[in-house]
Amino acid sequence: MTDLLSATTPLTVLSAADIGSWIRLAAQAVTDHTEELTKLDAAIGDADHGTNMRRGLAAVVTALDEGEPDTPAAVLKKVAMTLVSQVGGASGPLYGTFFLRMSTAVGGVTELDAAALADAVEAGVDGIKARGRGETGEKTMLDAWCPALSALREHPSSLEEATAVAAQAAAVGREDTRGMTATKGRASYLGERSVGHLDPGAASTALILRALAQTVHDGHPGCDPGQAVR
């Protein structure tokens, strides 16, 4: 992802504001892909995943616009609470639990490095597993989150590399759901007939992680290294 002409330097840590930027970019990505997510859910669910996620993340952006908290934990908690209250269906409580557990895991720190991010994502993934009584291989969002978490763990000293490989791993995980039989959530009603379709939750997770990698890669506007060094 290195771009020699880039006028910005990648982030090495995530501040509260950076987490806000990530979530705003994720909201934009989900809005841009609403139809695609809904089509995936139409094939093996009830055709609402795109609209559920778009509505939820739009409400999150509104909540952040009204007042963006100044610690990572508080931003993540606001994201969680808004998702839980705005998104119906399985994905609201699951993503809500993810961000709430992340919030608890980061505690009082003001910035997350790659290792702290991996710890927080691990807490979030454990929350999804507990809340949905799920594991990998069941054709759910966990099939994108779990490989992404393993990828994050492989690069504890570079946030840019960690988030880039995590996004890539989530995209591969999303593709891998195609061959799986759903055993959790609405798609499990279809049993073997769910094979051949991508899981919508794994697809939204891949978008959220791509937004994270992009946020880290893009860095802060105006951080041209040539100008920053005086």
Do residues 199 and 143 make contact, with C-beta atoms less than 8 angstroms apart?
yes
Restricted to residues 146-165, the positions that interact with ligand ADP (CB under 6 A) are none
Which of 202, 207, 209, 211 forms a contact with ligand ADP (CB under 6 A)?
202
Q: Does 189 sit near Mg ion (CB under 5 A)?
A: no
Residues paired with 111 in a beta bridge: 15
CB of 198 to ligand ADP, least distance (A): 9
Min dist. Cβ of residue 228 to Mg ion (A)? 46
We find the least distance from the C-beta atom of residue 144 to ligand ADP, in angstroms, to be 8
Residue 160, contacted partner among ligand ADP, Mg ion, none, CB below 5-8 A by kind: none
141 touches ligand ADP (CB under 6 A):
yes
For Mg ion, what does the binding mask look like between residues 40 and 79, x meaning CB under 5 A?
-x---xx-xx------------------------------
Alpha-carbon distance 201 to 187, whole Å? 11
Give the residue, chosen from 3, 32, 35, 46, that forms a contact with ligand ADP under the rule CB under 6 A.
46
Residues paired with 14 in a beta bridge: 112
Which of 140, 143, 14, 4 has its CA nearest to residue 76?
14
Unique residue bearing structure tokens 């051949």:
196
CA pair distance 35, 200, nearest whole angstrom: 11
Residue 207 CB, shortest distance to ligand ADP, in Å, is 13
Of the pair 90, 170, the CB lying nearest ligand ADP is at 90
Compute the chain's Rg from CA coordinates: 17
**From CA 154, how far away is CA 166, in angstroms rounded?**
9
C-alpha dist (Å) from residue 64 to 45, 67, 129, 193, 223:
31, 5, 27, 40, 24
Q: Is the torsion defined by CA of 107, 108, 111, 113 positive or negative?
A: negative
Q: Min. distance of Cβ 202 from ligand ADP in angstroms?
A: 6
Interaction site with ligand ADP (CB under 6 A): 41, 45-46, 48-49, 52, 89-91, 94, 128, 132, 134, 140-142, 184-186, 199-202
Interaction site with Mg ion (CB under 5 A): 41, 45-46, 48-49
